[in-house]
Amino acid sequence: MIMGPFLIGIYVFVLAIFVGVEIITKIPPTLHTPLMSGANAVSGITIVGALSAAKYADTEISSLLGLFAIILATINVVGGFLVTNRMLGMFGRKKK
Amino acid sequence: MSSSFIATTVVPVLYLLSAILFILGLKGLTRVRSAQRGNAMSALAMLIAAVAALVEMGTFDLQWIVLGLVIGGGIGALAAVRVEMTGMPEMVALFNGSGGAASALVAASYVWLNVIEKSSGETAANTAGVGSASAVTAVLSMFIGALTLSGSVVAYGKLAGKISGSPILLPGRHVVNLSLILGALGLGAYTLFTVTDPGSIAMYTLVVMGLSLVLGIMLVIPIGGADMPVVISLLNSYSGLAAAATGFVLQNNVLVISGALVGASGLILTQIMCVAMNRTLANVLFGGFGTADSGGGSEDNRDYTNVRSGGPEEAALVLENAESVVIVPGYGLAVAQAQHTVKEFASELEKRGVKVTYGIHPVAGRMPGHMNVLLAEADVPYEQLLEMDVVNPEFNNTDVVVVVGANDVVNPAAEKTPGSPIYGMPVLQVWNAASVIMIKRSLSPGFAGIKNELFEYDNTMMLFEDGKKAVQGMLTELKSL
């Protein structure tokens, strides 16, 4: 059987879901909010596509859509990881 | 290094490294101690993926990329530094929306660049370098991404109190929603598989996104404020699925993997929230349950008899002789911003040799883990936060339970009254404790809109007051004893 990229993608997707479920069911409820904001940051991975969409820096619609995609994805990435770090810092604080 | 070596070896290795770090980063979150390191690993994974993307492009203009990174980074950093912990549900809702929107825009940009702006006279599916798989997933990405955006904005509005928290039930909404789903996906497929005129493709693509935006609003507007933990979790999942769909469009597996991880995370949280409310996902999404907020509500004490109420002095007297106290926080704690006062109150009790723990119901608050974050902000050690299964057997040996701003999650009807709307929902069995101090502004019902017999129990004392003032009052009285 020869698999095209789409079929490989499906395999990767399904297996990644299983990995995700395995790990996430082990995350304690006390960390569920940081999990969500962290997952939020990870969904900013679409920045990979956004960077390439904006690579010509012209005023074609495709490039402008790319620019807006970079802005939104970066909000997710930077905001998501920073706020998660801030929250987790509160969990880690030791009592005096 | 030759460019072919970079393209065939360096870039794929970087993407693989990134995917591995995303998984390890998530694994770090399984323990409080390693969680911060895990988050840093995920951030590193993101950086590596972005670098790999730039290396893969080879040549590019920097203007838009730098501009986008600066604007987005600035907004994101500002939001992350400024947000109050009580405002986390709102912030996560907005971030879900921007993640979904970004994925939809990447897919749209792909369609414009490769199909519309090329105007090859072919359909998208027949255009060289696109193909049917990318065309189908581009439609999916725009569909999921756009509905995630509008749904998240509505969820934000409900959480921030800018839109009524009560469900808004439009007649025939199921038919409308089904038509929107079929319309958006059908038109999307029709456009990319049969239309060759670039102008028409552009217009139809915009219509597809418009329909998806309307669908997102329609899906969230009928859901009550108290069901927001489920909705936020679900939208979280969608933002991941949108990213994965974009990964299929671009045939980039690092997007597929991380999108799948986020999708799985959101789905599991959704599942946990539904179990904690003893409801199916379908019931939450289509039921129009959750009629009012537990925070406020109108005065309604007609149905109650034999309610014992007292002020902070009486409460302090009850607490004075206690050896063990369990504090049960709910959404009212967040509304009253009472977490720091509660912590001070707990410290005063501990100074007097009282053992203090917290009983956390999974759906207390407006998002999964909401209470834990608020209490962590107030420096409450996380070891003191007990999950429902752990704390329930403890109530028999507890002297006093202090309920701050929770209602339905401590309602005995869930176990004792078959036929009650919440019968079967797992609840905190606070009534097993010797005394219960129930802090609440009035006898108004919680989101389930039903009576709470706990208010009439002999061992319950109602303290009618805003959560923060009540705890402050008890603290002052305790100190003066």
Q: Taking residues B3-9, what's their average pLDDT? A: 84
Which element (helix H / strand E) includes B385? strand B385-387
Candidate from B104-108, B216-220, B300-304, B443-447 with smallest mean pLDDT: B300-304
Helices (H), chain A: 5-24, 32-42, 47-53, 61-74, 80-92
- Contact list, A92 vs chain B (CB under 8 Å): 32-33, 35-36
Structure tokens at A31: 């960390």
H-type alpha helices, B221-360: 228-250, 253-276, 281-287, 312-320, 331-335, 339-351
B292 in a structural domain: no
Do B321 and B268 lie in one domain? The reply is no
pLDDT tens string A50-84? 999 999 989 999 999 999 999 999 999 999 999 99
Which of B37, B468, B376 minimizes the C-alpha distance to A95?
B376
> In this predicted structure, what is the pLDDT of residue B300?
46
Residue type, position B131, single letter: G
Tell me how close the Cα of B428 comes to any Cα of chain A, in angstroms.
16
Catalytic residues of B: 408
Lookup result for tokens 């009983």: B359
User: B464 and B318 in one domain?
Assistant: yes
Mean pLDDT in residue range B148-155: 97
We report the CATH number of the domain holding residue B413 as: 3.40.50.1220
Nearest to B386, CA basis, from B358, B350, B411, B416: B358
Residue with tokens 């400024």: B82
pLDDT band at A94 (very low <50, low <70, confident <90, very high): low
Kind and range of the H or E element at B137? helix B131-159
Which residue of A32, A40, A54 is in closest CB contact with B65? Answer: A54
Residue B414 shares a structural domain with residue B275: no
B337 in any annotated domain? yes
Res. B299: pLDDT tops 60: no
- B256 lies in the same domain as B335: no
Query: Does some domain include residue B277?
Result: yes
Of B23, B105, B369, the CB nearest to A33: B369
Does the pLDDT at position B334 exceed 70? yes
Most confident of B202-216, B301-315, B452-466: B202-216
Chain B partners within 8 Å of A20 (Cβ): 26, 260-265, 268
- Residue from the list A49, A84, A87 with its beta carbon closest to the beta carbon of B246: A49
ipTM: 0.95
Q: Please give the helix or strand (H or E) that residue B69 lies within, else none.
A: helix B63-82
Chains A–B, number of C-beta pairs less than 8 Å apart: 380
Q: Give a yes or no: residue B106 inside a domain.
A: yes
> Does some domain include residue B186?
yes
B50 and A34 within 8 Å at the Cβ level: the answer is no
Residue ranges making up the domain that contains B33? 1-60
The CA distance from B337 to the nearest CA of chain A, in Å, is 17
- Residue B44's φ and ψ, nearest 5 degrees, are -60, -40
Q: What percent of chain A lies above the pLDDT cut of 70?
A: 96
- Chain B interface includes A22 (CB < 8 A): no
Instruction: Tell me the pLDDT band of A37, cut-offs 50, 70 and 90.
Output: very high
Provide mean pLDDT across the span B384-407: 95
Q: Of B287, B302, B332, which one is at a domain's C-terminal end?
A: B287
The two structure tokens encoding residue B258 = 């991380």
Which residues from A are below 8 Å from B62, CB to CB? 57
H or E element that contains B387: strand B385-387
Asked if B145 and B257 sit in the same domain, the reply is: yes
| Same-domain check for residues B193 and B115 | yes
pLDDT tier at B293, thresholds 50, 70, 90: very low
Q: Which residues of B touch A16 (CB under 8 A)?
A: 256-257, 260-261, 264
Would you call A84 and B106 a contact, using CB atoms and an 8 Å cutoff?
A: no
Neighbours of A92 (CB within 10 A): 13
Written as one letter, the residue type at B450 is I
- pLDDT, one tens digit per residue, over B233-284 is 999 999 999 999 999 999 999 999 999 999 999 999 999 999 998 888 888 8
B378 inside domain: yes
Closest alpha carbon to A31 in B96, B393, B360: B360
A96 touches chain B (CB under 8 A): no
Q: Residues B226, B168: one domain?
A: yes
pLDDT band at B446 (very low <50, low <70, confident <90, very high): confident
Give the span between the Cα atoms of B382 and B376, in whole angstroms.
7
In angstroms, rounded to a whole number, what is the distance separating the alpha carbons of residues B123 and B196?
5
In-domain check, residue B71: no
Residue A72's nearest CA partner among A54, A94, A93 is A54
- The total of structural domains in chain B comes to 3
User: pLDDT higher for B405 or B107?
Assistant: B107
Predicted confidence at residue B432, as pLDDT, reads 96
